[in-house]
């Protein structure tokens, strides 16, 4: 049985990751809402959860764990204590970057770095965005460094095209079926999507 799904995310790379996942799972996307920040996303989750229950339509929401709770389950309980069975709130541990690092072969090729530079257990990385920036810092490609690494003295944590580079990787190179072997939170997300599509 093929369902359609609505999507709500906190940023552009998450949106592209969701599109890639749904394409991989054979699920048609109805609407996509990019809230541009986790605070705005958090405030909207209750309404989307209610909508999913009222309409009995599936929603997929992605929200980074960051350091906001001890584990994904705790964060879900905090954000949506009475979750609808149609509302799939999935939590990348600790951030969407770890889902991308879990396809280390493709990410290394994209960043032009040695594969030995990437952790074998990305979900144990405390600050995945910082780790991704530091990986880009080692790139043999100047344009990757310029796009993803903040210039010296910048107040930003990442370079000017950091998000668009991650989205480019997700859309054109990332393999969820490979990454799920390393990322437990991604594997759980894929299992949940698979369950609604049968």
Q: What is the pLDDT of residue 47?
A: 97
User: Which residues in the chain are classed under CATH 3.40.50?
Assistant: 4-95+179-196
Model pLDDT, residue 2: 59
Q: What tens digit of pLDDT does each residue of 115-163 get?
A: 899 999 999 999 999 999 999 999 999 999 999 999 988 899 999 999 9
pLDDT digits (tens, 9 = 90+) for 46-102: 999 999 999 999 999 999 999 999 999 999 999 999 999 999 999 999 999 999 999
Place of tokens 């939590």: 91
Q: Does domain 4-95+179-196 fall into CATH 1.10.3470?
A: no
User: What pTM does this model have?
Assistant: 0.96
């Amino acid at each position: 049985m093929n369902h359609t799904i609505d999507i709500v995310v906190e940023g552009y790379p998450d949106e592209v990751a969701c599109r890639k996942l749904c394409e991989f799972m054979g699920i048609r996307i109805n609407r996509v809402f990019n809230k541009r920040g986790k605070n705005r996303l958090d405030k909207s989750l209750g309404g989307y959860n209610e909508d999913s229950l009222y309409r009995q339509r599936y929603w997929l929401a992605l929200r980074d764990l960051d350091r906001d709770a001890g584990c994904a389950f705790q964060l879900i309980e905090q954000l949506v204590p009475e979750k609808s069975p149609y509302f799939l709130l999935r939590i990348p541990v600790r951030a969407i970057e770890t889902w991308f690092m879990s396809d280390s072969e493709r990410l290394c090729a994209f960043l032009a770095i040695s594969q030995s530079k990437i952790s074998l257990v990305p979900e144990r990385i405390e600050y995945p965005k910082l780790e991704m920036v530091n990986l880009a810092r080692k790139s043999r490609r100047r344009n990757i460094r310029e796009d993803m690494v903040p210039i010296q003295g910048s107040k930003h944590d990442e370079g000017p095209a950091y998000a668009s580079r991650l989205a480019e990787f997700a859309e054109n190179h990332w393999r969820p079926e490979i990454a799920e072997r390393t990322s437990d939170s991604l594997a759980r997300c894929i299992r949940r999507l698979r369950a609604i599509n049968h």
